[in-house]
Structure 1
Amino acid sequence: MLQLFFAVAFSAAPLTLYVPPVRSLNLFVEALESFFRQTSDYSARVYPRARIAFSRVIAVFRRILL
């Protein structure tokens, strides 16, 4: 049983290298939040225009095909 415990413990140890430390993770999350905050204004303006442009393109294709 002890051998199984050590086998599992040492096989899981390399997996901890893939998990970043909490302080690095906080900086990453903060950067993502900042990015989304900065792009939300731009996407709020672009999305309605893109939707109108896409519907116009689809309308042109409908007229051509029908």
Structure 2
Amino acid sequence: MLQLFFAVAFSAAPLTLYVPPVRSLNLFVETIETLARESSVYTNRAIPRLHLAFRRILSAFLRALR
């Protein structure tokens, strides 16, 4: 059992390198929030257009199957 514990512990150790330290986590969250806030203008315009395009493609596909 001890060998299994050490195997799991040492295999998870490199994963800790990808986790940012707590002191820089606030900066990361702030950056993500800013990115989401700035991209929402473009997203709000793009989603209706994508919805319309998907509906047109789907209706053309369904018409072709009749």
Common fold: TM-score over 0.5: yes
Q: Which amino acid aligns with 1:23?
A: R
Residue number in structure 1 paired with 2:57 = 57
| Identity across matched positions, percent | 49
The root-mean-square deviation of aligned C-alpha atoms, in Å, is 2.3
Q: Deviations over 1:2-43 (max 9, x none)?
A: xxxxxxxxx6xx86x825332210110011001100111100
Q: Distance in 1 between matches of 2:54 and 2:64?
A: 16
Moved over 3 A (4+): none
Q: Distance in 2 between matches of 1:35 and 1:20?
A: 19
Using the TM superposition, give the Cα deviation of residue 58 of structure 1 relative to its aligned residue in structure 2, in angstroms: 0.3
Q: Distance in 2 between matches of 1:39 and 1:58?
A: 28
Helix, strand or coil at the partner of 2:26: helix
Residue number in structure 1 paired with 2:40 = 40
Please, which runs of 5 or more residues in structure 1 have no aligned partner?
Answer: 1-10
Please, which runs of 5 or more residues in structure 2 have no aligned partner?
Answer: 1-8
Using the TM superposition, give the Cα deviation of residue 59 of structure 1 relative to its aligned residue in structure 2, in angstroms: 0.4
TM-score, normalising length: structure 2? 0.69
